Amino acid sequence: MAPSKVLVGARVVLPTGIVDGGRVIVDGARIAGSAPPQHEHLDLSGHWLVPGFVDIHNHGGGGASFTSGTVEEVLRGVHTHRLHGTTTVVASTVTGDMHGLAQRAGMLSELAEQGDIAGIHFEGPFISPCRKGAHSEELLRDPDPAEVRKLIDAARGRAKMVTLATELPGGIDSVRLLAEHGVIAAIGHTDATYEQTRDAIDAGATVATHLFNAMPALGHRSPGPIAALLEDERITVELINDGVHLHPASLELAFHHAGADRVAFITDAMDAAGFGDGRYMLGPLEVEVADGVARLVEGGSIAGSTLTLDRAFQRAVTVDGLPVEGVVAALSANPARLLGMYDKVGSLEPGKDADLVVLDSDFALKGVMRRGEWVVDPQLG
């Protein structure tokens, strides 16, 4: 068991606000309300202390793919993101044939049962060929509820989210099916109208997959899905804050219109995150990563990101000028609530997992703790 620790002196971001010179007590793998007699003492003066990040949309990292990698490779990808503050990660797949996706779900469900990942997100194949992005058009299919059910069953209770183009045949019925089984129905890679999007929300959809990306632009006569997703309080909007996927004005529009409690910052990361430029495979498609930007070799579409959530945090505060408390909510509390895990992660409260991130005064990452153990030790940084 990890030794007990008392972390003092930092600016601590709690659900109730920012506490200057705060104190967080770690007893074993949990946050405690009082310090045990024997403990280590660590002064973090001049630093920020925030909850570990929760990423609900992540395809890989460290040179490893969650869609096609071996168990060892998937774990390497998970560890890569832990080094950047993501202490809870959902493994996202990309479009593939149904048999292959079902097999992948079986493997990933075992890692979820072991606690290595928080669950599985199926992004595709139930998406629009008009908005396919970096997905293989030949493998796309309509969201037949029976097919959707096959993937849910293959995940053995570990499916957390399915992204669908809900305007396609079977889309609304599939949303209802997902809602009935406690799986998040996310609207994305969609060509839906405003009205069709409203119908999907009423049927039970609760997430907008990477808002703005892979969907019609906001129009003054045809507002499309963006307006419907932003205006509805039942929807949490995913945002990729890497400076590539979104113009700063679009990010600000979404953050301030939806409100800090309805935003989840995600990475949508692929293999190159935390690894470097080069050629990679995203499902069956080849990707070229240059200067940290991933694009399909054929066609040039953006193919996920190389983002890590520590960079998303730093950019949100120092470039976009967003409030620290709101950014923490978007990186930790909001996605934890979506996953039904807020009783365990997402904030620095007694009884929860001791998952936390130490940042310096410029919001650069200096330490990461997961379940009471330092993944990145701030004393060695």
Give the tokens for residue 69: 């990698």
The Cβ of residue 29 has, within 10 Å, a number of other Cβ atoms equal to 15
Can you tell me whether residue 289 is helix, strand or coil? strand
| 57 Cα distance to chain centroid | 4
249 contact partners, CB below 8 Å, separation of at least 6: none
Question: Is 268 assigned a catalytic role?
Answer: yes
Give the tokens for residue 376: 């990145």
Closest by alpha carbon to 143, among 81, 185, 115?
Answer: 185
64, 282 Cβ separation under 8 angstroms: no
**Rounded Cα distance, 84 and 63, in Å:** 15
**Rounded Cα distance, 325 and 348, in Å:** 13
Position 262, amino acid: R
- Choice among 55, 232, 268, 271 that is catalytic: 268
22 contact partners, CB below 8 Å, separation of at least 6: 8, 10, 11, 12, 14, 49
At how many degrees (to 10) do helices 145-154 and 171-180 cross?
30
**Rounded Cα distance, 55 and 309, in Å:** 8
**Rounded Cα distance, 59 and 41, in Å:** 37
**Rounded Cα distance, 28 and 241, in Å:** 34
Distances in whole angstroms, Cα of residue 253 to Cα of each of 115, 268, 310? 36, 20, 22
262, 253 Cβ separation under 8 angstroms: no
Catalytic residues: 268
